[in-house]
């Protein structure tokens, strides 16, 4: 893998994806930018070419459309230059679960989980063969907090965390780094697209601060990066508690509390 592999970023036309594109370009990486908005992609690509001198290609795609998703998968499978995938594209639905249209629920799941997993699946074999490369999956702290009431969105982000951790265990020993990034509320268009006023949220991080923190975790090769978490020891304790339960999951019989007479 080249010292500066090309980076493919999904959801790259605005918000977190656009900042990732800019930061990697300033590090000297060529880019492949994927999003639905052709005009915004072209404007971003033109600016980054002029400011950084890197090569920037655009690939207009709606990752909930099979043909578009297949085109991006094919690019990841065949383009030997691409050594970093940033799985950033995602969406949220308006309202609670009872108010959400089933078709919209299916679209959110398709974009936030199915497309993310398929793109990782497309690039992973080639990265493993090279013994180098990175997959960055953008999750959310909501995936750890059902109390926030975003049942479908949170469930998709819980998938992203589990999927990323599983991939790191499987691919890490073979030279491929997998990072899950868990933002809190960040100032992006995802909120207005879902009919929510981001300024009504109790705390909102700016996209540049979020991505810079995520890249600090990337450089440290953290498997999970949680930019808003002040005390890393809390995540370590959470993981230790989870791992302490693992031996107790593998039992031939139900726990005594379920077998005792009432």
The pLDDT value recorded for residue 30 is 98
The CATH code that applies to domain 6-231 is 3.40.50.720
- The model carries a pTM of 0.94
Indicate the average pLDDT of the chain: 94
The shares of helix, strand and coil residues in the chain, as percent rounded to the nearest 5, are: 55, 15, 30
pLDDT digits (tens, 9 = 90+) for 84-95: 999 999 998 888
For 89, counting Cβ atoms within 10 Å of its Cβ (0-12 exposed, 13-18 middle, 19+ buried), the class is: buried
Give me the mean pLDDT over the 124-141 stretch.
98
Residues designated as active site:
153
pLDDT digits (tens, 9 = 90+) for 201-216: 777 899 999 999 999 9
Q: Which of 154, 85, 153, 151 is nearest to 117 (CA)?
A: 85
**How many of the other CB atoms lie within 10 Å of CB of 145?**
14
The pLDDT value recorded for residue 199 is 75
Alpha carbon distances (Å) from 151 to 64, 162, 204, 238, 262: 20, 16, 20, 21, 33
- Give first-to-last CA distance, the chain, whole Å: 62
For the ranges 11-25, 42-56, 67-81, 89-103, the lowest mean pLDDT is seen at 89-103
The pLDDT value recorded for residue 260 is 78
Q: Residue 109: is its pLDDT beyond 60?
A: yes
**Is residue 5 a contact partner of residue 81, using CB atoms and an 8 Å limit?**
yes
Tokens of 30: 């060529």
Where along the chain do its domains lie? 6-231
Give me the mean pLDDT over the 91-118 stretch.
93
Which strands form 56-60's sheet, in the order they lie side by side? Answer: 56-60, 31-35, 6-10, 82-87, 134-138, 177-181, 224-225
Tokens of 14: 């605005």
Count Cβ neighbours within 10 Å for each residue of 233-261 and write b for 16 or more, e otherwise: eebeeeeeeeeeeeeeeeeeeeeeeeeee
Residue with tokens 């268009």: 189
Where does the pLDDT of residue 2 fall: very low under 50, low under 70, confident under 90, or very high at 90 and above? low
């Amino acid at each position: 893998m080249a010292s500066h592999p090309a980076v493919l970023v999904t959801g790259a036309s605005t918000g977190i994806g656009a900042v990732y594109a800019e930061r990697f370009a300033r590090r000297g990486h060529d880019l492949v930018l994927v999003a639905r908005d052709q005009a915004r992609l072209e404007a971003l690509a033109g600016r980054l070419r002029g400011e950084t001198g890197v090569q920037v290609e655009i690939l207009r795609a709606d990752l909930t459309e099979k043909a578009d998703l297949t085109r991006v998968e094919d690019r990841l499978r065949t383009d030997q230059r691409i050594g970093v995938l940033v799985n950033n594209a995602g969406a949220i639905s308006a309202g609670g679960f009872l108010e959400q249209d089933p078709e919209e629920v299916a679209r959110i799941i398709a974009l936030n989980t199915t497309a993310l997993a398929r793109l990782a699946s497309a690039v992973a074999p080639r990265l493993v063969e090279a013994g180098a490369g990175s997959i960055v999956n953008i999750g959310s702290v909501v995936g750890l907090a059902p109390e926030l009431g975003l049942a479908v969105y949170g469930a998709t982000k819980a998938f992203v965390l589990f999927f990323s951790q599983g991939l790191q265990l499987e691919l890490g020993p073979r030279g491929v780094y997998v990072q899950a990034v868990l933002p809190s509320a960040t100032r992006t268009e995802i909120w207005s697209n879902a009919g929510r006023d981001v300024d009504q949220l109790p705390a909102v991080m700016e996209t540049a601060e979020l991505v810079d923190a995520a890249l600090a975790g990337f450089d440290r090769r953290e498997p999970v990066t949680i930019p808003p978490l002040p005390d890393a020891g809390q995540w370590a304790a959470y993981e230790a508690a989870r791992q302490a339960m693992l031996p107790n999951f593998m039992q031939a019989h139900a726990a005594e509390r379920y077998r005792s007479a009432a």
